[in-house]
Structure 1
């Protein structure tokens, strides 16, 4: 079992802006790995594969990942019937994917072992 690390959401956003989005690619990878760890789905698609598939499909796979991660986030929160995936897709479609990342990271931080 890999430990899930709490990350400062504000710093992640600042680093993403300063590096013109390069840090957000790293953030996507670790978000995916942390979500899989907390959801108990360690054998699901790795963060590296998510990044690769997103690049190959010119971002289309990212919408699918947002929806699937929304379901996992809902299960982590204890609300398996939630609709977080739809929220993440809408935010990403509106160009606010970083807001989706921030919401996911906040939930991860609340559920990570201190």
Structure 2
């Protein structure tokens, strides 16, 4: 067996394992490996020339408004959101409910 056939065999086996060892697909993987090994290697892709690449314009961040400039509606929304973020207070069990609890 020559070196090229051994390379095809090893590559076909790797493809077969990668795809979960599908039964009855030996010819398929052999052909895939053969195609990969016989096709000429593609030259490395060159970066496009600087003139052809259009740079995206830089966007300035929005200016922040001072806290005093917030509207009344924005303040209410902020208070509601803050209140919703806090956990609800825990309730205590009634004394009668605690006495009837049976533990095992």
- With normalisation by structure 2, the TM-score equals 0.26
In our comparison, the structure showing a higher alpha carbon Rg is 2
**Larger RCO (CA under 8 A, 6+ residues apart):** 1
Q: Looking at secondary structure, tell me which structure has more helix per residue.
A: 1
